[in-house]
Chain A
Amino acid sequence: MITFLVRRLALGLLVMWLVTVIVFIIFYIGPGPADVARALAGRDAPPATVALIARRLLLDRPWYVQYGHFLWGLVHGNLGYDYFHDQPVTSIVAQGIPITLSLIVGAAPLWLFLGVMSGVNSAQRPRSFRDRFFTTLALFFYSTPTFVLGVLLILFLYYQLTIHGIALFPGSGFTPLTQSPLEWFRGLVLPWLTLALVTAATYTRLTRSSMLDVLGEDYVRTARAKGLSERRVVYRHALRAALTPIMTQFGIDVGTLVGGTVITEQVFGLPGLGWTAVHAIQEQDLPVIIGIVIVASAAVVVCNIVVDALYALVDPRVRLH
């Protein structure tokens, strides 16, 4: 088990290192150091100012010096400073994380519940009306782009309700949990719903196929033969075995969403990590973009390791590979 974890951690570190290399290549050969300095200095700045900025940001040094400096900072938990306000990137990231996490923490149980329940219900009676209803619904939400669903929810559940005097949800914005738990909740219901419905569709399909496999197993027949109630057979015996692929997918999705709630945050004006990244990109604020990309990649790597470790804990055969 320990060797397995060590190997998995080493692999994770390798992946993270490669991510920094790719990030660096994109931004080094992308805008190019000279452009960055000139953009920062402003249109009419004298060449001396441009040179000074370039020197201060190490932009005039060869790429390996810049990369070394960047990696050194990263290892020490320093992601650099943003180009425009000289704020540490770590604090900018730290401001966004609670919002993105609020989004995931609320949406994850919702999509897990919706997806698994509809999947189980579908699998219990394949080809029945109920099955067709849920699979069609899943196909619909699977095909719906996040921003289309988000905008539709704003249109109907915010705007139409509000003009008819039922102001249940605000249209956008974020209230911290510590400031007012109720406002925090109200402001996040629509984003949660958007994220959960779009994601749940995958889980409906996954649960359905996984349950169909398991419900055909001998031990399920045995459980039925013992005279257990159908509910107990389905939820206690079958679902437990069918959950493994679902938990894997769940771990991957939670990790990916740290950097993947960009659209939801943009639609609802929530200043989380994704929203911050989009704004940094519009301003060409490279350190902020790089910082967020690295934090988001780290989330994926960590979640993958956790999923693998849980897997290894449950199924000893995994450790051998």
Chain B
Amino acid sequence: MNTALSWIKAYVPELSCTDQEYRDAMTLSGTKVEGFERRDKNLEKIVVGQITQIEAHPDADKLIVCQVNIGAETIQIVTGAKNVKVGDKVPVVLDGGRVAGGHDGGPLPENGIPIKAGKLRGVPSNGMMCSIEELGSDREMYPEAPEEGIYIFEPDTEIGADAVELLGLRDSVFEYEVTSNRVDCYSVLGIAREAAATFRKPFVPPVVSKTGNSEDVNDYVSVEVIDQDLCPRYCARVCKNIKIGPSPKWMQRRLAASGIRPINNLVDITNYVMEEYGQPMHAFDLDTVAGHKIIVRRAKDGDMFQTLDGQLRKMDSEVLMICDAEKEIGIAGIMGGENSKITDEVHTVLFEAATFNGANIRKSAKRVGLRTDASGKFEKGLDPRNAEEAINRACQLVEELGCGEVVGGMIDVKTPLAPLRVLPFEPERYNRLLGTNVSKEEMLAIFARLDIIYDEKAGTLTIPSFRQDLVGMADIAEEVARFYGYDRIPTTLPNGEATSGKLSYKMRIEQKARDVAENFGFSQGMTYSFESPKVFDKLLIPADDELRRTVTISNPLGEDFSVMRTISLNGMLTSLATNYNRRNKNVRLYELGNIYIPRQVPVTELPDERMQFTLGFYGDGDFFTMKGVVEEFLECVGLSKRKEYDPNIGKPFLHPGRQASIRYEGKVLGYLGEVHPEVCDNYGIGTRVYVAVLDLPKVIPFTTFDRKYEGIARFPAVTRDISMVVPKDILVGRIEEVIAQRGGKILEDYSLFDIYEGSQIKEGYKSVAYSISFRAKDRTLEESDVAAAMKKIINGLSQMGIELRQ
């Protein structure tokens, strides 16, 4: 909301502070000022001058030479303007002064345009006469300004006076961010009331006198509210003998500062009251209202209605309409109809000031696709008491401005107004919540400034109707805090029972994952949780795959963000592709993020959110590099036993010969592999990519941070190397399985040191060599111990068709 400070000051006449002081104080008391702008920025040395003489320029057809009386002296100004004549009073910027913009009305330069005396085509010119654009505004806001040329003041304007002041520009416009609970502050009066309380100055709202002639409004019009649930109050008054004309300058200036274009006296009055009271009003041409009857009811599904902006719009049965005896003439709270629009020929006007159901207006505005200043206010839920005051204020302005004759009385259709809220006065509780020691007297002084009435006998506070946000103790405590000053509240630390600060166990595992990944050169990425359903095609996931059962967003930003991921690889591959396209070499990334597995489709309960530890890289390294990282992580979190790898998992997005599940104690923890070249193509990655995914909920049950010291071996180890000829289809994992199972208690370690396929090995076989070490904790091993263990191992191997190489 934008408002001229001068308008606020009109209701807080004693307010005296700089713009910056005002801004700071208001912000600290809860009316946040987003910013402010001096309207006279870059307007320097500009006075009213009267043209006393005009002569042709000796050397230029398009220029004229004017003598301009600026009070103290008469100066010569050369101009190209065509609209001036002798006797005109115009704004004149003097030598050394400054204007805000150029005459073409383009964007205003930051520091304005300096004006200096000089010569135009050889003739001295000691200043410049200004157009409204040069003064930083435009004809929209100053409709009296000529279409082209110099701004001309009224004939009775004082020569030599401050032209900037006369144009209402010695002022600042403040922009406020009003919070949604403070409906009352979407009005000049509301903010002025806050300003008065903040600066502890008297608040002087306009006095609305009784208006209207001796006629009765009921003889002019009747109102029937059918859907009272959506319209708790409807006030109507009538003005006749309307004389359309411009509104007075002071009103135009205030509206212009608020960013509202002055139109004519009648429209300006409704806009003015909307700004002043925060109550939107509507004016109908009563002669267009059939049967002189207003009916407020819901529309019918599919009704078409032309709003006064000329657009034809589709209604439905939840949109509230204002109708006459025959037809719909306005969408309640949003916009009037083309068919009852006020024209310059209007004779009798019907003013409407109503209160509508805020939620309904908000939803209707959304569905109809039309959000207006009025609907923006209504949707916050307005105070029904305000409607009456506002409509009377409008009628008062009609009379004061000579805009027409107000008919006596007001039609008022309403559900009973809720009584004013009464809350107990609980100073101790306020202080206890705030941690303050504010005196009762200081609290009461604050309440008085906020129109909260204290009843000493009852010990209660009566809340004014415009403060719908004050409901309970905490709300009142906030009022105390705001005007006592948030900055004056002490700073302490809670001193209660001690609690132990910690990460959850899951977070500790995740932290380990980060540490291990980073130690191996993987950097942490973050990607979105939602993605496009096309991702499944990119990953070659079959049409009937479980992974395609997703949690789907009903109102996504677009298809690309429409399904919650059920697999973490798309984010990883997209990030790797980004790096690949940018020619980054050897990129290693990891991510810790959830996938979302629906428990049923369509979704009726919360999905299973599973934290995935995803690793991916291209560049240096291969499948076994990735395998090493996975194993290192698992060992770091306590999975010290053998990990098994099953290549037959059929992941369509991985290389068919280079993929495996990661199993521990018979449970699948995740998978790793080389990304299928077709998938790489789909992501535009022209190199081999390796990925691993660990499903942390599967890993966590096996994890432990417990460690027990096992001693350092004191007796020597015995090592045996065996070289084998192995049928090609036997995985070395199976050989290891045999070694591990048959090596017995003395088996310490085993490691593959050679694997070879080629001409020296018979067809269908490969050569595999292992180094196996044995050790006992309590003695030096005998040759016979080792021989027995080796024999068991070799027997086991030979049962699988493995031969020892001699």
Q: Do A and B come from one complex?
A: no
